[in-house]
Amino acid sequence: MTDDPRLTPLAASLPPTVPFVGPEELERRRGAPFRARLGANESLFGPSPRAVVAMKAEAAEAWKYGDSTSHELREALASHHGVRAENITVGEGIDGILGNLVRLLVEPGTPVVTSAGAYPTFNYHVAGFGGELHKVPFAGDHEDPDALLAKTRETGARLVYLSNPDNPMGTWHEAATVERMIEQVPEGALMVLDEAYCDFAPAEAIPAMRADDPRVIRMRTFSKAHGLAGARVGYAIGPEPVISAFERIRNHFGMTRISQAGALAALRDTEWLGHVVSEVASARERLARIAADAGCTSLPSSANFVAIDCGGDGALARRVLEELASRDVFVRMPGVAPLDRCIRVSCGTPADLDIFEQAFAPALAAARK
C-alpha cells in the first residue's frame, strides 16, 4: 500500500505499527480465544463492585457529554494526595497523557531520554512528534538513574523517562534513589515518573508528594490496581505551569461520564484496593513457585506481573511465548536483550494460574528442543 500523498513528511516517515498488539487482535489472527489472558497487566480480579454500580448508574446518562474538567474526580484526587486540584490533569490513561505531554514539549529533533526496553508507548509518542530518542541500557534488570541523568546532560534532553516500579521487569528503586534523581534533573529538562504500578509497591519505593516541584511530573492510572483498564482513566500530578499547559491541547471531552464515575467510586473503595493488592501479592508468590518448579528463576516484582527468566536468550523466550500461545495462554516478553531472556506473566486468579502452570513446563520443554 502506498502512502497518501497528503500526509505530512513526518507522518509519512513513521512505520505503521502500534506499541502493543492487543489480545483481541491476536485471537482474531489465530482464530481461537485464549484460555488465560496473562499478557496485558490488566487486573484479572476486576474493578471495585462499587465502581461497577456507579458506571451502570451513569450509563443511563450517557447521552450527556462528560464533565470537560473532570472536576469532581480531580478534587477527590487532590484530597487523596494532599495537593491542589490545579496540580492534576486527568486523561485517557497514562498513554493519552504521555501523548499530550510529548506534544507540549517535543518537536522534530528534540532530544528525549529513556531506557532501552522501557515502556514502548512513550517512545511511540516521541517518534510521532519527531523527537530524537536516546536510550541507555538497564543495569542489573533495573532502570539506571545515573545513566539516564548522564545521557540527559549529554544530549540536552527536554524529557527523561523513568518508571518505578518498572515495566517490563517489575523491579523498583527506593524513594531516596528516585528523589536524588529528581534533584539532579538538569535545568530545562522534565522528568517523567511513571508510577502506574505504585499501588503494588512497598511504601519505601514511593517518593513524597511534592506536586509543585518543577523538575518532575508523576503519572498514575486506574488501569492496574483499580481494574479499570477498559475505562481509560489516568492522571498526572505536577507543577501548575505544566499542568495548566495541558488545557491548550487536550481533548476536553475525551473523558466519558461513565469512566469518571467509575474512577471516583474506585478511588473511594479502599477496601477493594486492599483486596486486589493482597491477591496480586499471592499471585506473584505462586508465579515464582511455578517458575522454580520448572527449573527457572523469577525476578522479585513490585508490580502486578512477574518476569520469569527462561534460562536462555531472547530466541528461547520467544519460542516459549509461541508454545504458550499454542496452548491458549497469552503472555508477553521484553523487547530488547538482555531483558528478553524473560517472559512477563500478569498476576491472575487461581484459575488463571492453574492454566498457566499446566502449560508452562511443557511449553518450556518444547521450546528447548
Helix (H, G, I), strand (E, B) or coil at 37: strand
Residues 324 and 257 both lie in one domain: no
Q: Which among 64, 69, 134, 37 has a CA at the least distance from the CA of 356?
A: 37
Domain contains 239: yes
Residues 143 and 263 both lie in one domain: yes
Domain contains 282: yes
Domain contains 178: yes
- Stated pTM of the model: 0.96
* pLDDT, tens only, 331-355: 999 999 999 999 999 999 999 999 9
Of 209, 239, 268, which residue is a domain's last? 268
Of 268, 303, 338, which residue is a domain's last? 268
- CA dist., res. 61 & res. 57, Å (int): 8
Mean pLDDT of 359-367: 98
CATH assignment of the domain containing 277: 3.90.1150.10
Mean pLDDT of 25-43: 96
Q: What is the pLDDT of residue 20?
A: 87
Residues 264 and 317 both lie in one domain: no
Q: Which among 229, 269, 193, 239 has a CA at the least distance from the CA of 93?
A: 229
Of 249, 268, 287, which residue is a domain's last? 268
- CA dist., res. 280 & res. 225, Å (int): 9
Mean pLDDT of 146-168: 98
Domain contains 199: yes
Residues 33 and 124 both lie in one domain: no
Give the burial string for 139-162 (b: 16+ CB within 10 Å, else e). eebbbbbebbbebbeebebbbbbb
Q: What is the pLDDT of residue 1?
A: 67
Residues 121 and 168 both lie in one domain: yes
Mean pLDDT of 225-237: 98
Domain contains 14: no
Dihedral pair phi/psi, residue 5, rounded to 5°: -65, -10
Domain contains 9: no
Residues 35 and 83 both lie in one domain: no
Residues 60 and 83 both lie in one domain: yes
pLDDT at 4 over 70: yes
Mean pLDDT score across all residues of the chain: 97
Overall number of domains in the chain: 2
pLDDT at 269 over 70: yes
Q: What is the span of the domain harbouring residue 249?
A: 49-268
Q: Which among 260, 141, 269, 159 has a CA at the least distance from the CA of 219?
A: 159
